[in-house]
């Protein structure tokens, strides 16, 4: 029995547990009467397409909040707001901030003239972080009273959305969007990045996926079901890994340091694994992982990748209840629901 089955089996008949009574809030943000203001990396005039890992944040928050409407808020402003999915903690400041499951980048965190991390302005309350690296970073920056509750909220997807699709492909490949030649669903890997090339012998068996989608909830669900169409996933996108693992698909992270399947001890230095992945893996109690390393200038043996996934991938063992319980506004999550039965609040989200 997997982590999802165990969690669902122990929920009361009335539904999954709501969050703790952490904030009183106001009509805009803390009360259930008005829309919940959420900070996430939304589309704008320069980037008109949605990035899957960022754009699922309002969908998940709306469902965990009992189907409550969600509107976009800025990373830096004076209003009350929530921040959830994404490596965004270093960009947040001002107003009343509630952080639930976000990650942070140490290199991008603001510093003073002496090079020390600075505490962001505002009333900051942290209920959960993506992993212990983010928690440690925030504590070092002077944000106190952070509970050791870890997990990316995207892990809750199967508890909220009833997404199904029969597997069609032996392997799905998900590059990071910075490895693509443009912005949008039609973008392809950069010409000099040959590791994502798919030889004719793998056509119909191996599928290349992008995290760029049209800025609509329907497009996000379509992309997630495309991930579900793959029996295995290799990904340079963090949320390619998180989403696949949440739905029980065997995965392996793509790395650049090493050759082929490479065992990594994330407690030390020199492993070469991206800090976002390290934060996530440690937050799900996996200090020892195997990644698949390939330089961008080298073609990839997809047979070897699939063999590595079959050998080294392990089902995710994660207790989602602490993350659910840490949600700042008690409402009682809605789900899992099929797409056709989702509340109106989901379809009204402007990504």
219 and 138 in a single domain? The answer is: no
136 and 248 in a single domain? The answer is: no
Query: Of residues 13 and 262, which shows the higher confidence score?
Result: 262
Q: Is the peptide bond before 336 cis (omega within 30 degrees of 0)?
A: yes
Neighbours of 94 (CB within 10 A): 17
DSSP symbols for 156-170 = GHHHHB-------BS
147 and 107 in a single domain? The answer is: yes
pLDDT at 6 exceeding the cut of 80: no
pLDDT of res. 33: 60
39 and 76 in a single domain? The answer is: yes
341 and 278 in a single domain? The answer is: no
Distance CA 73, CA 76 (A): 9
Q: Which residues contact 344 (CB under 8 A, 6 or more apart)?
A: none
Distance CA 216, CA 259 (A): 38
201 and 296 in a single domain? The answer is: yes
Query: Of residues 7 and 257, which shows the higher confidence score?
Result: 257
Residues forming beta bridges with residue 213, ordered by sequence position: 50
81 and 147 in a single domain? The answer is: yes
Residue 40 in domain:
yes
Residue 28 in domain:
no
Residues forming beta bridges with residue 208, ordered by sequence position: 173
Distance CA 216, CA 89 (A): 25
pLDDT at 269 exceeding the cut of 50: yes
* Residue 332 burial (C-beta neighbours within 10 Å; 0-12, 13-18, 19+): middle
184 and 212 in a single domain? The answer is: yes
Residue 112 in domain:
yes
pLDDT at 139 exceeding the cut of 50: yes
pTM: 0.91
pLDDT of res. 20: 34
167 and 305 in a single domain? The answer is: yes
Distance CA 291, CA 279 (A): 15
What does the block give as tokens for 185? 């669903």
Residue 196 in domain:
yes
115 and 192 in a single domain? The answer is: no
Residue 171 in domain:
yes
Biggest alpha carbon distance in the chain?
59
334 pLDDT band (50/70/90 cuts)? confident
Convert the pLDDT of each residue in 172-201 to its tens digit.
Answer: 999 999 999 999 999 999 999 999 999 999
Residue 19 in domain:
no
Q: Is 247:228 a contact under the CB 8 Å cutoff?
A: yes
Q: Is 213:180 a contact under the CB 8 Å cutoff?
A: no
Query: Of residues 329 and 166, which shows the higher confidence score?
Result: 166
Convert the pLDDT of each residue in 293-324 to its tens digit.
Answer: 999 999 999 999 999 999 999 999 999 999 99
Residue 24 in domain:
no
174 and 299 in a single domain? The answer is: yes
144 and 180 in a single domain? The answer is: no
pLDDT at 289 exceeding the cut of 50: yes
Neighbours of 229 (CB within 10 A): 15
pLDDT at 348 exceeding the cut of 60: yes
Rg (CA), the chain: 20
pLDDT at 78 exceeding the cut of 90: yes
pLDDT of res. 29: 43
Residue 103 in domain:
yes
pLDDT of res. 34: 87
pLDDT of res. 332: 76
Instruction: Read off the CATH number of the domain in which 202 is found.
Output: 3.40.50
Which of 177, 171, 216 is CA-nearest to residue 193? 177
pLDDT of res. 15: 32
Rounded to the nearest integer, the mean pLDDT of the chain is 91
Convert the pLDDT of each residue in 13-67 to its tens digit.
Answer: 323 333 333 343 333 444 446 899 999 999 999 999 999 999 999 999 999 999 9
- Can you give the residue range of the structural domain that contains 252? 160-318
What is the domain count for the chain? Answer: 2
Convert the pLDDT of each residue in 202-255 to its tens digit.
Answer: 999 999 999 999 999 999 999 999 999 999 999 999 999 999 999 999 999 999
């Amino acid at each position: 029995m997997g982590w999802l089955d165990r969690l669902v089996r122990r929920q009361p008949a009335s539904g999954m547990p709501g969050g703790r009574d952490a904030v009183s809030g106001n009509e805009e943000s803390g009360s259930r009467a008005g829309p919940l203001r959420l900070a996430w990396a939304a589309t704008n005039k320069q980037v008109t397409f949605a990035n899957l890992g960022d754009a699922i944040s309002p969908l998940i928050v709306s469902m965990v909040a009992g189907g409550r409407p969600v509107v976009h808020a800025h990373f830096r402003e004076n209003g009350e707001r929530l921040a959830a999915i994404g490596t965004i903690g270093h960009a947040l400041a001002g107003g009343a901030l509630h952080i639930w499951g976000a990650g942070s980048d140490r290199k991008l965190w603001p510093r003073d003239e002496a090079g020390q991390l600075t505490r962001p302005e505002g009333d900051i309350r942290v209920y959960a972080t993506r992993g212990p690296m983010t928690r440690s970073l925030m504590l070092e920056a002077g944000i106190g009273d952070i509970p050791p509750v870890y997990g990316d909220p995207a892990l809750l997807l199967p508890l909220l959305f009833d997404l199904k699709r029969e597997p069609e492909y032996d392997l799905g490949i998900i590059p990071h969007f910075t490895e693509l030649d443009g912005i949008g669903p039609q973008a392809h890997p950069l010409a000099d990045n040959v590791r994502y090339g798919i030889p004719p012998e793998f056509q119909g068996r191996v599928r290349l996926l992008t995290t760029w989608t049209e800025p609509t909830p329907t497009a996000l669900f379509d992309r997630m079901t495309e991930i579900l169409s793959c029996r295995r996933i290799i990904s340079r996108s963090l949320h390619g890994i998180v989403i696949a693992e949440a739905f029980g698909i065997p995965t392996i992270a793509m790395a650049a340091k090493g050759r082929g399947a490479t065992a990594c001890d994330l407690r030390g230095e020199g492993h070469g694994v991206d800090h976002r992945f390290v934060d996530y893996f440690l937050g799900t109690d996996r200090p020892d992982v195997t990644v698949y390393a390939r330089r961008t200038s080298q073609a990839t043996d997809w047979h070897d990748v699939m063999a590595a996934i079959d050998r080294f991938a392990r089902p995710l063992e994660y207790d989602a209840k602490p993350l659910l319980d840490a949600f700042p506004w008690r409402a009682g999550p809605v789900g899992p629901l099929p797409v056709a039965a989702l509340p109106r609040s989901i379809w009204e989200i402007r990504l």
